[in-house]
Amino acid sequence: MVQNGLFTMSSYLSLSLVLERTFAIWSAAQYETSGHHLFPLFLMIGGSIAMAILHVYAIYWHNWFFETIYVLYGIEGFTLIIAIVIIIYSRRKFKNLPYDEDRLKAKYQVKEVLNFTSSLLPSVIVSVTMHTLSLVPTLLWINGVIDYPLCCVFYFSAHSLNCIFTKSTLIACHKGMRQRFQLLFVARLRTPRGARIVRNAEKEGQDYFNQMKIAWESVP
């Protein structure tokens, strides 16, 4: 019961995350400057928990096994399609941003949202794909094609691979996480202890925002 609830909640969280990114890309400049995103975050989490409870209720109190699996297939498929469309749309929007007096500020804001979206959605796509594949053994077991122990082997193996592939994709696509991973595991092994450069992340961040502030103030 708990496993089915968490599985369903993760599917709805992926859908909510993709819809949130859709809104962010659609109005990137306003989204970047608003800063009020806690309420939508809690709303997404609460909605996902509520839908997970409804799914568990439908499965164990109404025996809607097939129906809930088809619903999850629909959710995963819709999430996958929207994520791919948003990645393509966001890149085109950034490329075709019109030149005007606010272009520097607007382009920076769109780029910030685009970078976060481009680093996040590929891992969502991987997770959705693995979620979809993990439902296949359950369907085969319900139809009597395989027995329950074999179903569990395939099901939990798919979830284990999902964790590995999703985290690997996120590290590969997210610039900050990739740099941190290389710093902790790659550079540390290759660089002698006395030759290591200690980075001051706080100073680097302050310098970055100071540069952007100067650039924004130069716009008429």
If we measure between CA atoms, which residue out of 96, 126, 114 comes closest to residue 31?
A: 114
Domain ranges of the chain: 2-173
Tens digits of per-residue pLDDT, 152-178?
888 888 878 877 887 788 777 777 666
Tens digits of per-residue pLDDT, 21-33?
777 777 766 665 6
Radius of gyration of the chain (CA): 22
Question: What integer is the mean pLDDT of 8-21?
Answer: 78
Q: Is pLDDT above 60 for 112?
A: yes
Q: Quick check: helix, strand or coil at residue 101?
A: coil
Question: What integer is the mean pLDDT of 69-75?
Answer: 79
Please report the pLDDT score of residue 215 as a whole number.
61
Please report the pLDDT score of residue 191 as a whole number.
57
Residue 127: pLDDT band with limits 50, 70, 90: confident
DSSP 13-24: HHHHHHHHHHHH
For residues 68 and 58, the answer to whether their CB atoms sit within 8 Å is: yes
- C-alpha to C-alpha distances, 126 to 5, 33, 44, 84, 86, nearest whole angstrom: 20, 30, 20, 11, 15
